[in-house]
Structure 1
Amino acid sequence: MICFWWKRKSSKNSQKKTKDYSHTHKLTNHTSLDKVKVDLKLNGKKDDSKNDQLALDLKSLKLKVPISADGNDNGSRAQTFSFDELAAATGNFRSDCFLGEGGFGKVYRGQLEKINQVVAIKQLDPHGVQGIREFVVEVLTLSLADHPNLVKLIGFCAEGEQRLLVYEYMPLGSLESHLLDLLPGRKPLDWNTRMKIAAGAASGLEYLHNKMKTPVIYRDLKCSNILLGEGYHPKLSDFGLAIVGPSGDKTHVSTRVMGTYGYCAPDYAMTGKLTFKSDIYSFGVVLLELITGRKAIDPTKSHKEKNLVAWARPLFKDRKKFPQMVDPLLEGQYPARGLYQALAITAMCVQEQPNMQPAIGDVVTALNYVTSQKYDPQIDRVQRCRSPSSPRVRRGDHKHKHNVSDDGNERDRSVN
């Protein structure tokens, strides 16, 4: 049994987004931004001539724009760019500007003369997994969102058949490239950085769930969609699968199942009933990847270890086995108490029953506490020397007995 204490604060609904899992279920496909009746405004004007194509896309898809936390739609902060401008910024999409490729299409680094800024430009692949709907949803969601842990959408191009998105450039790339696909010679992320990234991602998720006027389920939380800026500052990206969450007395949104295998919540995959807790499960998988350095699904592993969550579940029940779960690349450089607390949060997030999973506000509170207890190799070395045998396990046992906050008011939360 795992117990973890934290001060509980009131929180609203909590959950988010995933990727195409439609081969598993095909249910009623509701529009991504249903029943949010706000007029589309772009750059403060209605139906600006440059934005006619986006307006037509919006009309044909029957999508509406969600309003922001202060009750205003704010117009759209996103600028419009011509295709020629974006082609010039990337040297006509030269190969040396290529950054990567996802379900939406290829991403390029560019220098936009119009705003004198280095940007990332994502070009829709007309034959790709995602399409016009995802393009429109991303423009609408990010144009109205404003949070330090969400990637900033600078602008877009909707010209003829061209669909491109322009984002702030994140110089360190994705979390995946630093954690799961580490290049030779690249230094692995240390414990403090991993927990900082986890706390930042949780904060961005909390904004979508609780602080937007129309709460949004992300549906695509995974390492490749967490981008890193200077100082490994994390930002959530890729909002093409975002969907407005249930409201009023509704408990879920019934939709065609979309998600990346390994991150998709089991209850959602089985029923097509999407809730905010679906995002909590995905977050738990990401947190487990940060701790273990293992992929959510790894076909190179043995049968028992291919699925990360399935491998971890029996280990959650035995505190003495916690050190076995830590990424070997950390080389023992982590705090036993912090590991215990991080695994406790993880275990609760990946519970199969949504009603057993914590709210995102509680996850943020818990992770902020974990990040405040930074790993200090000097202190840790002294603690290791004092422990007569099995230092990593014994140190964890000792810390568990004193696992309370400074004010001593945390509540006991248990996971079997």
Structure 2
Amino acid sequence: MELNPLTSNKVPRCAQKASSKRKNINQVFTFRELAVATSNFNHHFLVGEGGFGRVYKGYIDSVDQMVAVKKLDRKGLQGNREFFSEVLTLSMVKHLNLVKLIGYCADGDQRLLVYEFMANGSLENHLLGRRAIDRSRPTEEQNLIHWAAPLLMDRSKFTEMADPLLEGNYPKKSLYQALAIASMCVHEEADARPLMADVVTAFEFLTTPAGEEKPTMASTESIHYVESVKGGNAKDELEA
């Protein structure tokens, strides 16, 4: 009888064979081991969250190292067969710039992946910094857009949205112009938001040195929105 990959808790035969061949690569952990490693998935150990689940840092005695444990959402769309296909794929792909998969857990309906822990953060962290959704922050700061919306309405609070690592060493005018563009992108009405082509052009406009020809924006709807929000001339904000 063929197993239903979306409901069965059994490990597919192909995954069993592959795992036996790769015992030195992928370790099979129990749910209890990973719960102990992360202090029962303590929120203080939460390092990330995405569409498929949450990621916690932890320490596993059996491998004697810090790890990142990705606990997949049991209500997610990923089925049993898809999970093990991902395990096999990750175990075969090796690259200096890819995080190493250490092992996995498939206890009952629990599905977890165990990766090496990057103490210095991922490339995404360095490029993007604060995440759009971060449940490790205070409730009012967990949603980045909800946190920023009232600040975008008050020019005196613009500096609170700047990267703290800059320590205030940036032209305020440039910050205001960048936030004018950002405010366009978070309009409550999706149809009122600018095209990404316009967003790119707007930033190119701001970074073009004085004296050089400025790029032309495809539309002016974005400018009109910022004018209504700030009660000022957003076009001047961008072109000043």
Q: Deviations over 1:197-246 (max 9, x none)?
A: xxxxxxxxxxxxxxxxxxxxxxxxxxxxxxxxxxxxxxxxxxxxxxxxxx
Instruction: Tell me by how many angstroms 1:86 deviates.
Output: 0.8
Matches of 1:306 and 1:181 in 2, distance apart?
23
1:300 equivalent to 2:187? Answer yes
Aligned to 2:128: 179
One of 76, 92, 105 as aligned partner of 2:53 = 105
Q: Secondary structure at the match of 1:159?
A: coil
Residue identity (%): 37
Which ranges in structure 2 are unaligned for 5 or more consecutive residues? 132-160, 167-177, 215-240
Question: What does residue 128 of structure 1 align with?
Answer: 76
Query: Do structure 1's residue 92 and structure 2's residue 52 form an aligned pair?
Result: no
Aligned length: 162
Pick the structure with greater CA Rg. Answer: 2
User: Does structure 1 residue 311 correspond to structure 2 residue 190?
Assistant: no
| CA distance in 1: counterparts of 2:16 and 2:63, whole angstroms | 29
Greater RCO (CA < 8 Å, at least 6 residues apart): 1
Output the amino acid matched with 1:390: G
| Structure 1, unpaired ranges of 5+ | 1-30, 32-52, 67-73, 189-291, 316-320, 327-331, 337-383, 394-416
| Counterpart for residue 22 of structure 2 | 75
CA deviation string 1:16-47 (max 9, x = no partner): xxxxxxxxxxxxxxx9xxxxxxxxxxxxxxxx
Pairwise CA distance, 1:134: 3.7
SS at match of 2:115: strand
Distance in structure 2 (CA, Å) of the matches to 1:107 and 1:178: 19
* Secondary structure at 1:162 match in 2: coil
TM-score for the superposition, normalised by structure 2: 0.52
Equivalent position of 1:390 in the other structure: 211
1:162-181 deviation per Cα after TM superposition (whole angstroms, max 9, x unaligned): 21100111232462674274
Question: How far apart, in 2, do the equivalents of 1:149 and 1:83 lie?
Answer: 28
Query: Any idea what SS the aligned residue of 1:118 has?
Result: strand
How far did 1:103 drift?
2.3
What's the counterpart of residue 4 of structure 1? none
1:138 aligns with 2:116: no
Alpha-carbon shift at residue 300 of structure 1 (Å): 2.8
Q: Cα RMSD (Å) of the superposition?
A: 4.2
Per-residue CA deviations over 1:379-410 (Å, capped at 9, x if unaligned) read xxxxx7xxxx51586xxxxxxxxxxxxxxxxx
- What is the DSSP-based 3-state SS (H/G/I as helix, E as strand, rest coil) of the residue aligned with 1:136? helix
Any residues of structure 2 matched to 1:247-326 within 5 Å, and which? 298-300=185-187, 303=191, 305-308=193-196, 310-311=197-198, 315=201, 323-324=204-205
Partner Cα separation in structure 1 for residue 163 and residue 199 of structure 2: 29
- Distance, in Å, in 2 between the alignment partners of 1:126 and 1:142 is 20
164-173 or 90-99, which deviates more = 164-173
Q: 3-state DSSP class of the match of 2:12? A: helix
User: Aligned pair in 2 of structure 1 residues 184, 154: CA closer, same or farther (>3 Å)?
Assistant: farther
Q: For the residues of structure 1 that align with 2:57 and 2:129, how far apart are their CA atoms? A: 23
**Aligned-partner residue type, residue 22 of structure 2:** G
Structure 2 contact 41–56 (Cα < 8 Å) conserved: yes
Give the number of the structure whose residues are more often helix, by fraction.
2
Aligned with 1:166 (options 114, 128, 147) = 114
Contact 1:304 1:311 in 2 (8 A): no
Per-residue CA deviation, residues 93-149 of structure 1 (Å, 9 max, x unaligned), is 111111222222221110111122111101122112434344212201111111112
Name the TM-score, length of structure 1 as normaliser: 0.32
